[in-house]
């Protein structure tokens, strides 16, 4: 039995009147627009410039398109440096794969970026051990704003049958946004992130003009949908913004004791 209909018998009928009135109002507005639209030639609403550039897509899904900047193609770390001192990156390159060297510290791109499309693949080792945050932990900092873990982190973690706090699981914007889904593959299988990053913009006095936004697909599944970031990543405390310009992309060498993860096929398209 519907308690609302007993306590307030007119509630539902009033709701119907409101809905019908709303539709009537919208219909009136649409009719008004139609009456003021005097365009009669279809060519008046057709635009021919600027012409979009021709971009040749990759041969298969995940392959770099023709206008991409290759950040790692399996050969070397020429595009990367150590975050600590700017020296050549010290992670391990073998068999076309980049493996984290936890003692070598975080690495970041030599180039800096503002808005971009990023593709990156990673693999949790099949013999992974540990639990919670100490199991295949790493991170992709979509803009590195300083040494250590300064920046905006997209979390990398093994959450295939491994629980942790949900705003710190794989696909989260760390401690800011819970992913829309857990799309993990099991350890030993290659996984991918595809990211659309809109960098924050700051006024000349350093105040925020527009916040950062990010859309993320994890293994082809949408996990962040145009999320508006509240500031840089913080392990303790609330996020906040500090002014910066174009920034490198950073990969984290997390200090947990689990086996190191690997990356491959990293490319970016500045937008």
pLDDT in tens, 38-57: 999 999 999 999 999 999 99
Averaged over 120-145, what is the pLDDT? 98
User: What confidence category does residue 15 fall into, taking pLDDT thresholds of 50, 70 and 90?
Assistant: very low
What region, left, alpha or beta, does residue 238 occupy, with left being phi > 0 and alpha being psi -120 to 50 degrees? beta
Q: What is the spatial distance between Cα 69 and Cα 95, in angstroms, rounded to a whole number?
A: 21
User: What confidence category does residue 37 fall into, taking pLDDT thresholds of 50, 70 and 90?
Assistant: confident
pLDDT in tens, 214-226: 999 999 999 999 9
Q: What percent of the chain has pLDDT over 70?
A: 87
Q: What is the pLDDT of residue 8?
A: 45
């Amino acid at each position: 039995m519907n308690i609302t209909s007993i306590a307030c018998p007119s509630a539902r009928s009033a709701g119907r009147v409101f809905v019908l009135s709303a539709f009537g109002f919208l219909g009136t507005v649409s009719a008004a627009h139609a009456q003021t639209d005097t365009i009669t030639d279809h060519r008046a609403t057709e635009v021919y410039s600027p012409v979009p550039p021709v971009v040749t897509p990759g041969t298969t899904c995940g392959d770099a398109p023709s206008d991409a900047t290759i950040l790692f193609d399996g050969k070397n770390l020429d595009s990367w440096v150590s975050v600590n001192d700017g020296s050549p990156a010290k992670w391990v390159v073998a068999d076309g794969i980049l493996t984290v060297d936890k003692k070598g510290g975080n690495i970041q791109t030599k180039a800096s970026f503002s808005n971009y499309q990023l593709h990156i693949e990673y693999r949790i080792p099949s013999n992974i051990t540990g639990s919670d945050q100490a199991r295949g932990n790493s991170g992709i900092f979509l803009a590195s704003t300083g040494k250590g873990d300064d920046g905006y982190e997209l979390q990398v973690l093994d959450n295939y049958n491994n629980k942790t706090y949900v705003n710190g699981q794989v696909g989260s914007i760390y401690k800011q946004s819970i992913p829309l889904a857990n799309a993990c593959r099991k350890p030993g299988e290659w996984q991918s992130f595809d990211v659309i990053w809109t960098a924050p913009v700051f006024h000349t006095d350093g105040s925020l003009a527009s916040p950062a936004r990010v859309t993320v697909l994890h293994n082809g599944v949408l996990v962040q949908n145009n999320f508006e970031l509240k500031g840089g990543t913080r392990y303790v405390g609330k996020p906040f913004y500090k002014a910066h310009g174009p920034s490198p992309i950073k990969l984290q060498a997390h200090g947990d004791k689990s086996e190191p993860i690997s990356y491959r096929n990293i490319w970016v398209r500045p937008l």
